[in-house]
Chains A and B, each alone.
Chain A
Amino acid sequence: GAVVSQHPSRVICKSGTSVKIECRSLDFQATTMFWYRQFPKKSLMLMATSNEGSKATYEQGVEKDKFLINHASLTLSTLTVTSAHPEDSSFYICSAALGQVIPDTQYFGPGTRLTVL
């Protein structure tokens, strides 16, 4: 159980274009989803927390207009990288949590490799 999927697994785009990444909880309803980015040989950095039906909460230093997050349902959250630039190239990982349970374990998706040319 507790499977989280991401689509696409990898994407290559030109500078200036926007890219949407989907995160789905396949076998449970996720009240809360999280988005992380990870640079090569570095640890995961939390970008934002996404609650179903409300605005995402962004970590300090993360541009909310650059990284648009939508959590429209209990099984789907999307991250849109707007006007992507080469420095946005990274590994983006989402996680999903049931919410309102203790402990609220996070289950991670397989990640999306974004390369901006």
Chain B
Amino acid sequence: LAKTTQPISMDSYEGQEVNITCSHNNIATNDYITWYQQFPSQGPRFIIQGYKTKVTNEVASLFIPADRKSSTLSLPRVSLSDTAVYYCLVGLTNDYKLSFGAGTTVTVRA
């Protein structure tokens, strides 16, 4: 399983854009990159998934450079309800297991 490294925590204010970068230097050719959001005492919620370049949905954008050794989750105009732990994971093809790292605790302040 590819190991991921993310910042432990990030602080932001309402209305700002939050960018969380995840390093995954040993990502395999067939691995996808997936981001989840988790609130306290809830299961992780799927945010976005991608393989290369840029993916955008109604919640976030995912930027993946050509070498795929890192990825950046972009949350536009965050609100207080975006305060959560965000996990970056790689895999989902050769090995369906997911290995959760520590995640990034994002705190949004008014």
Contact = CB atoms under 8 A, between A and B. Distances in A.
Given A43-B87, A43-B103, A103-B34, A108 B43 contact: yes
A62 interface: no
A79 interface: no
Contacts of B69: none
A97 B96 CA distance: 9
A107 to B, nearest CB: 6
Interface of B: 30, 32, 34, 36, 41-46, 49, 51, 87, 92-93, 96-103
Contacts of B46: 2, 105-108
B43 A46 contact: no
B92 A105 contact: yes
Interface of A: 2, 4, 6, 32, 34, 36, 43-46, 49, 91, 93-95, 97, 99, 102-111, 113
Contacts of B103: 43
Contact of B49 (A95, A99, A105, A111): A105
Given A34-B98, A43-B100, A43-B101, A105 B93 contact: no
Given A34-B97, A91-B41, A104-B96, A43 B34 contact: no
Interface of A is mostly: strand
Nearest to A94: B43
A102 B93 contact: yes
B34 A105 contact: yes
Contacts of A102: 30, 32, 92-93
Given A46-B100, A103-B51, A104-B92, 9 more contacts: A34-B97, A43-B101, A44-B100, A46-B99, A49-B97, A102-B32, A108-B36, A108-B44, A111-B43
Q: Identify the 8 closest CB pairs spanning chains A and B, nearest first.
A: A108-B43, A103-B92, A103-B32, A44-B100, A43-B100, A108-B44, A111-B43, A93-B43
A83 to B, nearest CB: 25
Given A103-B49, A111-B43, A46 B93 contact: no
B92 A108 contact: no
